[in-house]
Structure 1
Amino acid sequence: MGTGTKLVQLFRVGSFHPSGQIMSHFNRSSHKLRGFTLVELLVVIAIIGVLVGLLLPAVQAAREAARRMSCSNNFKQMGLALHNYHSAYNQLPIHGTGPINEAHRALGGSAARWNKDPAHQYSRIGALVGLLPFVEQQAIWERVSNPLTIGTTQFTEFGTVPYTEMQGTTTQFTSDGVSYDPWFTEIKTYRCPSDPGVGLPAGGRTNYGVCIGDSISLNLGAGKYSDSNLITTSTTSVANFRASDRGVFDVYEKNKFRDILDGLSNTIAMGEMNTDLGDSHITTETRGGGTAVQNKPDRCRPQINPNRPQFWSTTVSHTFTPLASRGACWAATAPGFTIVNTVLPPNREYCNDANQDFVASNGTLTVSSRHQGGAHVLMADGAVRFITDSIEAGNSSAADVRNGGSGATAPGSQSPYGLWGALGTRAAKEVIDQEF
């Protein structure tokens, strides 16, 4: 073996000095296990925290997008139900109906509105009840349209009588303390999954209401039938009703698609709304404007908390707690429960004439939602549109169109509430030339 070969072998085993010692040390060190330092560990944790912080909002946004799509699909089902109902009966469902006791018709006053088996029905069955068979809720419809033996109602004058068809009252949800079960049933199609409201003091909640147009004066007690006598009409009340009757739905009256002269695709049939969470939210709990709100719809704005503009700064005492709850009963006709109008833009405040009971009070019943930036509406042709809070809505301080009005408020005038108001009218001949 030559001298060169020996030198190479000595170098490989690390016996060659001095580089052999360095190489031997390097080989031994390369096989040692090495852990993270504290600084490296903290950096890794910080990076993971940042990634989670970025991921969670994206997950929440994805979930809300799914809920919003589900909400829109519910509305599409209801739009299809409206058209199927119209195909079956050649009219839209009446908002404010129910059996009337013919024997009490001649008595006038509240007695004229009693159910045929005298429960205080008051013709307060809403349009959503009639849609039940058309949204695959035949089982609930059978319970509503037939007598129920779940209990009895107590009446001083008439003694104890059983529940008959459509008998349960839709305002206090009970008749002398006996609950009418169907009104407490949650209908999935009538609920938006983005809305967290559940349970009492509401009955079966709803997030969708019928649109009565751009009028405040059309609410219960100010339409064709006076609140003191639902059956008997007068020339004045009929004129008042016709002047302010501008939406797809009326109260106590029937409409047809042929009545929507502005076009089904240009007219809102129904709108989305929040249900009350008991937190004094401006869209779910009403405040009183002190005087006629139809003369100045934004009259309640001074009562909004400037630091928290989605909540009221004032409090009120409600005589009937459920009556102070937006969307509290899907079966009802009452404005706060199942009616929307196109006066104030979406997600604006709910303001009425009185401070507590909105069953027969005029009010700004605009659409609202828990979605970001707007709310859904159902057009009369069945299309679902998302209306942003920033839609052009004219003058929020302007009086509405009504009988006896002059100038911009005269019957037949275009809506004072801009594009938003025009979408609510069915035959006002406004030109819809803007995107919405």
Structure 2
Amino acid sequence: MVRQKNYGFTLVELLVVIAIIGVLVGLLLPAVQAAREAARRMSCSNNFKQIGLAMHNYHSAYQLLPTHGAGTINGTGAGSIPAATVPVNAVQSRWRDSLVCNNSKLSAFVGLMPFMEQQAIWEQISNPSTDGGTWNAMGPTPNRLDYKPWATNIPALRCPSDPGQGLPASGRTNYGACLGDSVFASSMLGDSIYSDDANPTPAAASQYNRASHRGFFKMWNNKGNFRDCLDGLSNTIAMGEMITYLGDRDIRSSTQGSGGGNNATLIRDNPLACRGQIDPARPRFWSGTAQREDRSRGYRWADVSSVFSSTFTILPPNSEICGRSNFNDIVIIGTMSSQHQGGCHVLMGDGAVKFITDSIEAGDPSIGGVWKDGTGVRAPGSISPYGLWGALGTSASKEVISEEF
């Protein structure tokens, strides 16, 4: 009798093979994840490159940079509904919400839309519309979620590594205009903090603005162009990357405040004023609930407000952001950040995209910023007190960039 030979596997052999496969998968998975992140990082860099090309094409067409803080203003002054019942100084009215105009609260990205192959969105914005409401040309203030262009997520403005989506954000952005190394009043047209007059004139407020407008972009109808960049386009950051808030108390995308209430001078004089609110057990998160979560990083691509679409070179990349308890725009320490490991992308004035590490030389972050009445290293026109990082953010302080970055 001939016995048939069994060619099957034993249970032990199967378990050994499964174990080997599991070990191989465990070894390969990090490499696969790293490869995916490298692809996302490359895509993010390409997005920034396209924004740089759009910026240069805009400048070629108009001999100006896109204005960071442009738009329409209601002729009655206040720009509110009903405007005639709100007797407020026209300077302060810029911060009021409106249905009939945008109160010059539009970011530089709005003007770049036709140059970023977003002609369809630009057509909606630049013409009157009845889609979801009755809207004038250039739309309402950017807080209006019912105005579809402001609520649209534009892929070219999103980093693939950032998973943020949904309310309370409107259309998100992971890129912001660089306003330099000074924040005090750089993004505010008028406030009683500048003067004993509760309704300061534009001339009074502009004195503070001029001292703080040290970056590649200036705010509120400043018609900048390439020739204003005296430090050189290749030595000046035009825009920086930033993460959007995920509802997780991340110190880079929300703030718990300095503990000083609405004291703007506290933050102006000490960029580290919010550091005491960081959870020592989890240094990437605040110890308590974030304030004003609806006004978090990157939540409105079309809004000129510093927290939404602006970046600064004060604290090193991926440091905390810091603002007053009401989180308005007199003082917001809003540095650059990303979901990439170890740093973030920046767009230089010449259109080059570079990756800046968190360890870049950034001077003494405890020194207060340059402002109108500052002295010494804080005097208007002085070189940046924030080392190489600050020097890259300023456009006309005559710093010499001698280091590779």
TM-score computed with the length of structure 1 as normaliser: 0.83
What is the CA–CA distance in structure 1 between the aligned matches of 2:88 and 2:64, rounded to whole Å?
28
Aligned mate of 2:34, from 58, 61, 73? 61
Aligned to 1:163: 135
Verify the 8 A CA contact 1:124 1:333 in the aligned structure 2: yes
Aligned to 1:360: 329
Aligned to 1:23: none
Aligned to 2:195: none
Distance 1:84 1:140, change over 3 A: same
Aligned mate of 1:327, from 276, 289, 298? 298
What is the CA–CA distance in structure 2 between the aligned matches of 1:390 and 1:371, rounded to whole Å?
14
Amino acid in the other structure paired with 1:226: G
Aligned to 1:139: 120
Question: What does 1:189-208 correspond to in 2, within 5 Å?
Answer: 189-208=156-175
Verify the 8 A CA contact 1:335 1:358 in the aligned structure 2: no
Aligned to 1:129: 110
What is the CA–CA distance in structure 1 between the aligned matches of 2:240 and 2:74, rounded to whole Å?
33
Aligned mate of 2:147, from 164, 180, 183? 180
Question: What does 1:26-425 correspond to in 2, within 5 Å?
Answer: 32-33=5-6, 35-104=8-77, 109-110=89-90, 113=94, 119=100, 121-152=102-133, 162-171=134-143, 173-174=144-145, 179-221=146-188, 225-227=189-191, 232-234=201-203, 236-252=204-220, 253-289=222-258, 290=260, 291=263, 292-318=266-292, 321-323=293-295, 325-352=296-323, 354-355=324-325, 357-425=326-394
What is the CA–CA distance in structure 2 between the aligned matches of 1:83 and 1:217, rounded to whole Å?
29
CA offsets, 1:261-315, max 9 Å, x none? 0000000000001011111111111221124212111111121112221111122
What is the CA–CA distance in structure 1 between the aligned matches of 2:255 and 2:330, rounded to whole Å?
11
Amino acid in the other structure paired with 1:132: M
Verify the 8 A CA contact 1:100 1:112 in the aligned structure 2: no
CA offsets, 1:321-363, max 9 Å, x none? 522x2101110001110000000111110111x22x3232411
What is the CA–CA distance in structure 2 between the aligned matches of 1:114 and 1:307, rounded to whole Å?
38
Verify the 8 A CA contact 1:185 1:203 in the aligned structure 2: yes
What is the CA–CA distance in structure 1 between the aligned matches of 2:13 and 2:381, rounded to whole Å?
75
Verify the 8 A CA contact 1:202 1:322 in the aligned structure 2: yes
Shift of 1:101: 2.8
Shift of 1:37: 4.3
Verify the 8 A CA contact 2:99 2:135 in the aligned structure 1: no
Amino acid in the other structure paired with 1:143: Q
Amino acid in the other structure paired with 1:243: A
Q: Secondary structure at the match of 2:333?
A: coil
What is the CA–CA distance in structure 1 between the aligned matches of 2:348 and 2:36, rounded to whole Å?
26
Amino acid in the other structure paired with 2:272: D
Shift of 1:56: 1.1
Q: Secondary structure at the match of 1:387?
A: strand
Distance 1:123 1:230, change over 3 A: farther
What is the CA–CA distance in structure 1 between the aligned matches of 2:40 and 2:99, rounded to whole Å?
42
Verify the 8 A CA contact 1:94 1:254 in the aligned structure 2: yes
Verify the 8 A CA contact 2:183 2:330 in the aligned structure 1: no
Total equivalences in the alignment: 385
Percent identity for Structure 1 against Structure 2: 58
Distance 1:135 1:120, change over 3 A: closer
Verify the 8 A CA contact 1:114 1:120 in the aligned structure 2: no
Q: Highest Rg: 1 or 2? A: 1
Shift of 1:231: 10
Amino acid in the other structure paired with 2:75: E
What is the CA–CA distance in structure 2 between the aligned matches of 1:300 and 1:317, rounded to whole Å?
12
Shift of 1:317: 4.7
> Gaps (5+ residues) in structure 1?
1-27, 153-161
Q: Secondary structure at the match of 1:346?
A: coil
What is the CA–CA distance in structure 2 between the aligned matches of 1:255 and 1:101, rounded to whole Å?
24
Q: Secondary structure at the match of 1:149?
A: coil
Verify the 8 A CA contact 1:113 1:230 in the aligned structure 2: no
What is the CA–CA distance in structure 2 between the aligned matches of 1:410 and 1:74, rounded to whole Å?
37
User: Does the alignment pair 1:431 with 2:405?
Assistant: no
